[in-house]
Structure 1
Amino acid sequence: MPRPRVDVVVLSMNDRPDEETAAQATLLAQSDVDVRVVVVGNGCRPEVVPPGALTVCLPENIGIPGGRNAGVDALRDAGDPADWLYFLDNDAAFPRTDVLARLVAEAERHPDAAWVQPRLTGPDDATTPRRWVPRLRASNPGRPGRVTSMTEGVVLVRRDAFDAVGGWNSRIFLYHEGADLAWRLYAAGWNGWYAASIRMHHPLTTPARHALYHRLAARNRIWIAHRNLPAPLLPLYLGVWTVITLARAARGGGLGETLRGTREGWTTRHTQRRSPMSWRTVYRLTAAGRPPII
């Protein structure tokens, strides 16, 4: 039986060379899979590139979803694209040499899953912040199962499903692009699977370390809701998330930028082309544990 082939997309801004070198070393050590890598320089020429990898040099930073799409396009244009895509943050690491092979095996055991999500932990192989667990009931991150969201920087995706729904939404730039892609994959009849026994490592960082976090997170929640949800669910979803977002900002900082992002989202929401999911998709999301109002 031929070994599975995986096309891996890594983004770089040349801002963490030591972490990138370590991440790529663990990627190249993956066994029982054939890996092809593209390193996308988002507004730069990537400086840390493994031997034989493709490179894409974007003249400006077009955001994480756009950069990942550029990597997928480059792999397709190179010919003979693999059946599997893996999106890898440049500071994430494979703790074992069999991670990719095990993820592909999980995907083959769950043919209705468009993506398979490993459990993301800190470098200690144990600590998993709640925000890294791709479901609402996050108190037990070791429990596998069907999920409706994804952790974008460490995820295996079927290429045919990814291509069929148009890939990442490049307009989002940063934050919540995984929720948008997951909803569109569900709308196309797929679901997601959380392979909690398979781990990936990542530094224990917080998204709020980025200056754009509060504004873009608030704006993008409105954008993805306008793009994907049936009209009756829009006020419910946005009402819940507005309360949650404002409460978090008031407690943890960034209230002004959150209000700015909320205003920007409302005034520009029509730039996102609406393609509301069916009520059957709403039911499937609800049955999988996350109704699209929270």
Structure 2
Amino acid sequence: MPLPTVAAVVLSQGTRPVELAKALETLLAQTGVDLDVLVVGNAWEPTGLPDGVRTHHEPDNLGIPEGRNVGARLSHGDYILFYDDDAWLPEPDTLARMVAVMESDPHLAIVQPRPTDPDGKPGPRRWVPRLDARSAERGGDTVVFWEGVHLERRTAFEQVGGWPGHFFYGHEGIDLAMRLLDAGWRITYAPGIVVHHPALPASRHAVFYRMNARNRVWVARRNLPHPLDWKYVAIWVLITVARVHDREALGIWFEGLREGWTTDPGPRHPISWRTVARMTALGRPPII
């Protein structure tokens, strides 16, 4: 019987050579799958990579979602592993186990494993695809997912148009998840499958606060029916004001919010009220 085919897309700017080397070493050690490993150099010419790794150079930084779109188009496999360049797989059957979960149900579009920090540091809230971040060991269907390491069914990914490339950074996974759910696909969290990733704050990125706000508005304007679109944004304004105490950072966030309302978010295809009800039943109504 032929092995399942997996395209592994690794996006890198070449700034973490040690981490990238470990990411690729543990990826190439995977068993039970037929791998096509592609490193997309985002404003970086990939060099010095091991045998078995294909490369593609983009002269400009396309951002995370569009860089991943490029990798998906240039790679081959029924499933696509999107894989951060500072992540690594602790066991040689990690990927095969993710594929086994995916193949257990033809309606699954995404399988997210459980990320853990290799040094034992507590993980950020965004690693757990539930409102209650304490439930890291509870698996099952979700309405969001962590983008850092996850497996996607190519047919589902292509059906809904892939990542929103113009987002550049932030909330592209929420946008993709809403479109997948509205198309009838499932997303599952498999905490029994562990991957490693350093626990780092998303706010370390210079563009974090502006794009966090802008893209939050774009998600609403693109995907949510009225009046949920403005309610979603209003609730996140309240959450952000409560969480962010740095006045300068908050000012940048509100500038991003204004940008989100005054710029083109891309095509609008509101999810159905049936999808709204499904998301609510799964514990995360699309107003938060």
Separation in structure 2 between the aligned mates of residue 134 and residue 100 of structure 1, nearest angstrom? 20
TM-aligned CA distance change 1:30 to 1:255, over 3 Å = same
In the TM superposition, what is the alpha-carbon distance from 1:31 to its structure 2 partner? Answer: 1.0
User: TM-score, normalised on structure 2?
Assistant: 0.96
Partner of residue 83, structure 1: 78
In the TM superposition, what is the alpha-carbon distance from 1:32 to its structure 2 partner? Answer: 1.0
TM-aligned CA distance change 1:130 to 1:253, over 3 Å = farther
Partner of residue 37, structure 2: 37
Partner of residue 78, structure 1: none
User: TM-score, normalised on structure 1?
Assistant: 0.94
CA contact (8 A) 2:3 2:33 kept: yes
2:97 maps to a residue whose letter is R
Displacement over 6 Å in runs of 4+: none
Residue 271 (structure 2) pairs with residue 277 (structure 1): yes
**Which residue among 122, 127, 135 is the counterpart of 1:132?**
127
Separation in structure 2 between the aligned mates of residue 151 and residue 252 of structure 1, nearest angstrom? 28
Alignment of 1:12-27 (within 5 A): 12-27=12-27
**Which residue among 163, 166, 173 is the counterpart of 1:168?**
163
In the TM superposition, what is the alpha-carbon distance from 1:271 to its structure 2 partner? Answer: 3.8
TM-aligned CA distance change 1:105 to 1:126, over 3 Å = farther
Number of residues of Structure 1 aligned to a counterpart in Structure 2: 288
Partner of residue 267, structure 1: 262
**Which residue among 114, 117, 132 is the counterpart of 1:119?**
114
Deviations 1:191-223 (A, max 9, x none): 200001101100111111111101100110000
Judge which range, 44-53 or 60-69, deviates more.
Answer: 44-53
In the TM superposition, what is the alpha-carbon distance from 1:283 to its structure 2 partner? Answer: 1.1
Partner of residue 180, structure 1: 175
Partner of residue 148, structure 2: 153
Structure 1: tracts of 5 or more residues without a match? 76-80
Separation in structure 2 between the aligned mates of residue 126 and residue 117 of structure 1, nearest angstrom? 20
**Which residue among 161, 184, 187 is the counterpart of 1:189?**
184
Identity of aligned residues (%): 51
In the TM superposition, what is the alpha-carbon distance from 1:49 to its structure 2 partner? Answer: 2.6
Partner of residue 2, structure 1: 2
CA contact (8 A) 2:109 2:187 kept: yes
Judge which range, 103-112 or 181-190, deviates more.
Answer: 103-112
Separation in structure 2 between the aligned mates of residue 292 and residue 48 of structure 1, nearest angstrom? 44
TM-aligned CA distance change 1:282 to 1:30, over 3 Å = same
